[in-house]
Every structure is written in C-alpha cells, then in structure tokens.
Structure 1
Amino acid sequence: MFTVVIVGRPNAGKSTLFNRMVRADDKIKAITDRLPGVTRDINYGLAKWDNKEFTVVDTGGFFSEQDSEDSIHKQMLEQIQMAISEADLIIHLLDGKEGLIPHDLETARKLRTTGKDVLWVVNKIDSPSHLSRIYDFYSISPELIPLSAITGYGFEELIEKILERIPPTKSTTSEEELPKIAIVGRPNVGKSTIINALLGKKRMIVSSVPGTTRDAIDAVCTYYGKKYVLIDTAGIRRLSYYKEELSEHVYVEKLAYFKALRSIERADVAVLVIDAIEGIVNQDQKIAGIVAEQKKGLIILINKWDLIPQNEKDKKAKFFADEIKRKLWFVDYAPYLTVSGIDKTRLTKVFPLVDQILEDYSKRVSTSELNKLFNQKLKDVVLSSGGKELKFYYITQVDVKPPTFVVFVNDKSAVKQNHIKFIEKLLRETFNFKFSPIEIKIKQRK
C-alpha cells in the first residue's frame, strides 16, 4: 500500500496532522493508543480519501546526529530512517510559527539524498493572514504548502497532492493475487514452528528465545494444488513493555511491532497463535482487536496442544471454548482450532478455513434480498432509544472485503451498538456470513 511518512523536528505538529489524516475518531485512536509512546515512537494508521487508501506514519521528532548523543535519540533517529526507507512519499512538516532554523535545512538536505518524493509543508498557518510565515522557508523549496493541522486550513490541498501521487491500481502478478495469511501473536507462542509445519520445510528460524523472528517474511505454500502466501511476523510483546526505558533490545522489538502491524494490513486473513499453556492473556486480546479493527478475517490457533496431558484435553478444550467466548467476544465470528506446531495436529484444517473465510469475505447480497429481510424483520418497527424514535428504512451492500452494508434510518444519533449487533446477527444467519467480519454503517435519510 502507498505509504506516507511525516517527519520534522519535535513539536512541529506531526501527530496533529497524522490524526487529521486518519480521521482519528474513537476507532482510530484505539489503534494508535496501542502503539508505543506519543513523541518518541512511530505511529501508524490507515487513511481513506476519495476512495483511495494509503498508510500514514507519524514519526518522533527528527533530531540531528549532533543532537543525538544519548542512545534514546540515536534509536529514535534509526526508527525514523527505517520509516523513511519504506516511504513512497515524505511530508517534511515545518513549524511556521517558530520559523526556519538550521536543523530544518539539514533535514531537508538529508531527505533529498534519499531520492524519495517529498512535500514541503509549513504548519501553523492558521489563516490566510499568517501566510507571510512561509517566506523564510523558500530557501528549502520554491514549492511550499501552507497548512494548519489544527484548523484544517490548506488540508484539502495537501490531500489532493497526496492522492495525485498514488498510482492507479495495476493488474497484479500471480503471486500478488494469492490469498495472504499473516501469522501473528506474542513472542514464543510457536508461530515459526507452525509456519514451518504448514510449509512442510524449515523456512523460518525457530528458537526458544522470544522475538527471534524480527521481520515479516513471505513464503508461498501449496495445499491440494492451491497456493497461499504465508507471512510470518515478529512476536508482538505486551505494550506496557514499550513504555520502559529504551534499550537496543526494546528498540528492535518496537520495529518488530511496527512490521507486524503492516503484515496484518497486507493480509486477507490473520492467524492468531495463542499459547495453550499460558492461555488467553491481555496482549492476545489486543492483537485480536487490531485484526478486528482492520476488518481482516481471523482464525485462532490454540498452539502447543501436544503439551496438554491426554487425560486433560477434553477439559482443556471446554475451558478454551468458554475463554474465547468471554475474552474474545468481539471476534465471535472467528473459528478456532487446538493445534500443535510440533506434531502438526489439525494444521491441515487451516487452509479450508481460510478458503471459507475468503468466500464469505467476498460475498455480495443483492439489495432486493437485503430489503426482503428488512421488510420481514424491521419494516414498520419503531424503537425508542433514549427518548428518541428510531425507524429503519432500508439497507444496501456497498462493498466487499469486508462485506460492508449501509443502513438508512430516520435518526442516526438514536442508533446504539445493540441495534448494530442485531442487524449483524440477522445478516449472518440469513446469508451465511459465518466466519467473515462484517462492517455496518449507519446513515440518516434526509
């Protein structure tokens, strides 16, 4: 996916611009709040404008090497350089209120040496009356975009500049058309062992040291003549860990987390691996939450089943069935399996589940069928919600991957989460959306 990276000195307004670009409502904030830090670390989000999507990366303040005498600043600089290396477009955000400083010129020089496409954006131009603030920055580039990340002044022009740089969708190669499966989970739950078993050969490094796999690695495998791309990701550590003092080890793990998020974005289906001995922990819930928020298909694998004593397997299976309902209720559509990467127990069931998820993921239902359901279940039904009268009019499907539906009502503010869950249940039961995530949007009919 096209990637836009925002860089600049500390306090130039990068995070404010990031939030505006990804339209940081509660849903997006839930993702960015999970990422380490606010000013030190990389924040990652998905932006959608005019039917185009692109990745936005918010970096920490861009310190110079001279300012980076301590290890934290050095690691921050390395993080930013890593993000820049993956960028298709860089936004150099300049502080129009503070004015031009030598560091801005140094950063601009370094960005030019990357050969990347760069937009020079002067922030804190809150109104046309402040346009004189940009004059100093013409020494960096004759093409400057004035902007106020807070008020939105100049924002439409910036978005237009970004969108015109996103290439049209090209016909994909055969490998790009293959179903993509991201193997995700905490460190040391057995992800690489599972992917090696699925591949039938030792493709990944397997170690008892948590976080051995630090990068996403793609491998193509074949199951009964059908090919799939498996993406092995670095283990995602508990997020409180990232708030501790940075060390070289922590820095590597932070980059691994960033790459794991990108792997989930690339995938059609995520396979969440959980340790059968440790059970479902808080971080497993958070990873599942990231997958759910990105509306990807999900399969849950309870791994290391070979370590469960034979006389306890039935009891343990019932325990996990209850635990999944209780702790992962928000992905109640996701199938789960008890497996062993070591002895390959039930791993052959993964690919048929992927196929079924992808079939549901791409399913379309005609508007006539949808409204036949609405006429049977919701026509002329008037609900009271917080003293407001709520009436459902009609429904239509507007997209797939995931199946996305728009429901028209008389009063959008009266629609509560329980109403949406009820409609989702109707759709799943009526049209057999068994394992796919579903997105339901509410619109008020004028």
Structure 2
Amino acid sequence: MKPIIAIVGRANVGKSTLFNRMVRMSVDRTKSTAITESIPGVTRDRNYVETEWDRKKFIVIDTGGFYAEEISHGDKEILRQVREQAMFAIEEADLIIHLLDAKEGLMPSDIELADILRKSGKKILWVVNKIDTQSKEDRLLEFYRIGAEEIIPVSAVTGYGFDELMDKAIALIPKDMETKPSEDEIPRVAVVGRPNVGKSTLINSLLGKKRLIVSHIPGTTRDSIDSICSYYGKRYLLIDTAGIRKKGKIYSQKIDIEKFSIVRAIRSIERADVAIIVLDASEGVVEQDQKIAGIVEDYGKGVIFLLNKWDIIREPEIYYKEIIQELKNKIWFMDYAPCITTSGLEKKRITKIFPIIDEIIAERQKRIPTADLNKFLSKIIAVKPFPPYKGRELKFFYITQVGIKPPTFTIFVNYPSGVKAHHIRYIEKALRQEYSFKGTPIRIYVKSR
C-alpha cells in the first residue's frame, strides 16, 4: 500500500492550490501517458491522486475547508464539520500537512484544529501558505504560537518553498507498504462498495462463518480485514473495506461516513487483483458507486459488479433489465465488467463469483503476440481509416503489448497528437471484440517512432 498525505486547514488557505501543485509538479514526466478524457461526475473530479516525488509514490488528499470559530450562524454544524475533517485526516493519513494562511494570520480555529491533530499522534508538517519571498518570512513568527517546533513557508501559487516542503514530507512518510509475499500466491479480491450495501454479510456467507461484524449501522467494519476463503480446494484472499473508526473524545461527533468511505476503499483496491463492487440492488446505481468504480478503473484492477440484496427485489426479471441499463448508462466506462445478482444474506448465487474471478485473472495476464496485434491493427484501420492530422496522413506503424495486469499496449504513429481519445476508444472496443479482456481495464499508449 502507498502512504497517504492529507492536506487540512481552514477554507481559502490554499489547500486545493497546493494539492494541484503536488500532483502537477511531482509526477514523473519521463513516462508516456495514456490518452484520457475527463469524465465529469465519476472520479476525475476526485480530491485524491496517486503521485510521486523523488521516485517515492504516495497518495495525496485534499480535504474540505474548516470555518472560523467566530462565525455565529450554525456553530454546531460548523464544529461538526471541523471534527469530521479532522477525523478524516487522523484516520487515513500517514502524514498531515496543516496549511495556514500568512495573509489572514493565526486564527482560533487553526489552534483548535492543531490541538486535534496533535492528539492523533500522527506526523504533522505545519505549513504557512502565501509567502512568496524570503522578505515575507517574518510573518511566520506568530504561527509558532500553535506549538510547532518548525514552520515551513510556501507559496502554493508560485512554488516558493515547494521543493523544500516536498523533501521534508517524503522524509517523514513510510516507504511503500509492499504486499506480503505470501499473499502473492493466491488471488487477492477486494470487496468494496458504499456503507451498508452488504459487504460484510457477503464475506461471512462466502466464509461460512461470522468472521466480520454485521450491523444495519453503516461503517461497523473497523479495519481492513483479510480472510482466506477456500472454494473447491483453491484459496482466495478476501479483503473487506474498513469503515470509519469511532473512539475517544475526538470522535464523539456523528460523521458523514458516505463522504469518507471512498478513501478507505483506496487502500483495499490498490492491494487487490480483482475488486467486487457491491451495489444495493434495491437502491440502484448512485454517485458513490460511480466514484468507487472509477477508482478501480484508475488502479487498473479487474472488476465484478455484484447486485446484492436481490432477495427483496419484486419482479426481478423486469427490474434486472432496468438496472443493467442504468449500470451501462452511469458506469459506461466499465462496460467490460461482468455483473451478477446475489443475496449475501440468503447465500444465493454467491459461489458464482469464484469462476468469474479466475476468468478475470487469466484475462489480466493474457499476452497477444505482436504479429497478431499488427494484423489486427491493419484490419481495423482498413475498415475505418483515421482522418488526416493537419492535412497530413496519420500513419500507424505498429502495435505491441508492453505489459499485463492490466493488459497494456503501445501504438507507434507518426503524429501522436493526431490520435484523439475517441480513436483510442475505437481501438479498445475492437481489441475487446477480438481478444475479450473480460472484466479488466486495458491501457493504450501512443508514441512517435
């Protein structure tokens, strides 16, 4: 698993600007990139990104804003939001960046938040934003009242002090938490989904025993729990997604579990070979389901959609057509994923999962010979020639498979800029028609020869 850095602070201190700079400036620009397209409302608007600095990979998360204590309207709700965000940082992060505002100075809510974060025992960097020259660093003095031994000046807009901040951050976070070697021998299956869709009930049914706490209260799973399941002599590692912890005085406020469940899913998904996305069939496909599916796609994992609680569906034959169409409309970017209906509570059709897992893992490891791929490419271009680029012929020289898990391809052309996102989608669709790749994303990169 990769370490998590969370950026917290009041509203308008520059958290999103710093987040964007960390993502934009810390990526390895020597790597070729896939042609992608923004998908509004899925995960491309997410507030987390996997990135790297100095060859160390991590996940950076931008949290919501905290409001000043002196605001009189809705004090209780504001304080609840403050504690929700603090809990998020405390629960999820390996390192917390507490961002402060040099122009507004130290506020009471900054001190309150600092106290909450300090009690967490997590590693914290105290960073003052909006300082873009050395002459303005005298503004740091008042922030030492927060109780920090070191205050780091930075300008998220201009980049002043950014390299120093990133070097300090990387020195404090743990190295990538690698998967245990023993786990590599068996398929790793993450069971993910919104709170209270039946993830723990499903795993308990698969295991044949009550391994996990099951409750109607969302978020009762307290930690990521690994369980070994055996099906016809073959073992599988099932990873249940953790909920949000509630303990101690810091966690006394009611929290919005829906808001933070996605971040917990990241940890499970990145460890997995295949993700089972559990949907509540009685509620249909909601935005949170779209976001979780987008994470699985981003991480290049295999996927199965599981429509749970099918036992309470009236007229299932009619409803099945409706919800499958809804799934295609809302999570269209995963039209390659198989979907099954089940009831974790009544243990109906749950064992159908295992043969599909095996099939998807085989598809993720499939390799296509370069000669076959080039025959395929010539065939689809002959059927549908690509348009010229700036008046010049767009030539496809050859295609080769460069990786697996997920299957990854590189196409060499004379003008990479001439290959658009819809061209890639056309090639991907044709690849799937020819070679299946059931249940797994594929990656297609374009390079000049």
- Deviations 1:306-351, CA, capped at 9 Å, x for gaps: 4457xx6655555555554444432111011222324423211212
CA distance in 1, matches of 2:313, 2:79: 46
Give the corresponding residue for 1:340: 343
Give the corresponding residue for 2:278: 273
Is 1:218 equivalent to 2:225 in the alignment?
yes
Match of 1:403 among 402, 407, 411: 407
- Deviations 1:59-95, CA, capped at 9 Å, x for gaps: 3446799999624314422531442243222223232
Give the corresponding residue for 1:201: 209
User: How far is 1:373 from its partner?
Assistant: 4.3
Give the corresponding residue for 1:95: 101
CA distance in 1, matches of 2:183, 2:111: 42
CA distance in 2, matches of 1:26, 1:429: 22
Does the 8 A contact of 2:6 with 2:61 survive in 1? yes
Does the 8 A contact of 1:272 with 1:299 survive in 2? yes
CA distance in 1, matches of 2:152, 2:409: 37
Judged with a 3 Å threshold, the aligned counterparts in structure 2 of structure 1 residues 409 and 231 are, in CA distance, closer, same or farther, namely same
Give the number of aligned pairs. Answer: 425
Judged with a 3 Å threshold, the aligned counterparts in structure 2 of structure 1 residues 362 and 123 are, in CA distance, closer, same or farther, namely farther
Unaligned runs of 5+ in 1: 36-42, 237-246
Give the corresponding residue for 2:424: 420
User: How far is 1:161 from its partner?
Assistant: 3.8
Does the 8 A contact of 1:395 with 1:405 survive in 2? yes
Give the corresponding residue for 1:13: 14
Judged with a 3 Å threshold, the aligned counterparts in structure 2 of structure 1 residues 170 and 318 are, in CA distance, closer, same or farther, namely closer
Is 1:360 equivalent to 2:363 in the alignment?
yes
Does the 8 A contact of 1:28 with 1:45 survive in 2? no
CA distance in 2, matches of 1:162, 1:392: 43
The 5 Å alignment of 1:45-444 reads 45-49=49-53, 52-61=56-65, 70-99=76-105, 114-126=120-132, 130=136, 133-134=139-140, 145-164=152-171, 165-167=173-175, 170=178, 172-175=180-183, 178-186=186-194, 188-207=196-215, 209=216, 211=218, 213=220, 215=222, 217-220=224-227, 221-233=229-241, 251-280=256-285, 284-307=289-312, 317-318=320-321, 321-365=324-368, 370-371=373-374, 373-374=376-377, 377-378=380-381, 382-384=386-388, 389-443=393-447
Partner letter of residue 419 of structure 1?
H
CA distance in 1, matches of 2:134, 2:375: 53
Judged with a 3 Å threshold, the aligned counterparts in structure 2 of structure 1 residues 187 and 378 are, in CA distance, closer, same or farther, namely same
Does the 8 A contact of 1:179 with 1:228 survive in 2? yes
Q: SS in structure 2 opposite 1:197?
A: helix
Q: SS in structure 2 opposite 1:17?
A: helix
CA distance in 2, matches of 1:372, 1:130: 63
Identity value in percent: 52
Report 1 or 2 for greater relative contact order, CA contacts < 8 Å, sequence distance ≥ 6.
Answer: 2
User: How far is 1:436 from its partner?
Assistant: 0.8
CA distance in 2, matches of 1:399, 1:135: 52
CA distance in 1, matches of 2:287, 2:98: 37
User: How far is 1:298 from its partner?
Assistant: 1.4
CA distance in 1, matches of 2:282, 2:107: 56
Unaligned runs of 5+ in 2: 26-35, 245-251
User: How far is 1:437 from its partner?
Assistant: 0.8
Does the 8 A contact of 1:398 with 1:406 survive in 2? yes
Partner letter of residue 18 of structure 1?
F
Does the 8 A contact of 1:186 with 1:235 survive in 2? no
CA distance in 2, matches of 1:333, 1:167: 34
Judged with a 3 Å threshold, the aligned counterparts in structure 2 of structure 1 residues 63 and 421 are, in CA distance, closer, same or farther, namely closer
Q: SS in structure 2 opposite 1:341?
A: coil
CA distance in 2, matches of 1:105, 1:306: 51
User: How far is 1:420 from its partner?
Assistant: 0.7
RMSD of aligned Cα (Å): 4.3
Judged with a 3 Å threshold, the aligned counterparts in structure 2 of structure 1 residues 104 and 188 are, in CA distance, closer, same or farther, namely closer
Partner letter of residue 333 of structure 1?
Y
Partner letter of residue 225 of structure 2?
D
CA distance in 2, matches of 1:235, 1:58: 20
CA distance in 2, matches of 1:285, 1:106: 35
TM-score by length of 1: 0.76
Is the deviation greater in 161-170 or in 335-344?
A: 161-170
Give the corresponding residue for 2:247: none
CA distance in 1, matches of 2:156, 2:358: 43
Q: SS in structure 2 opposite 1:174?
A: helix
TM-score by length of 2: 0.75
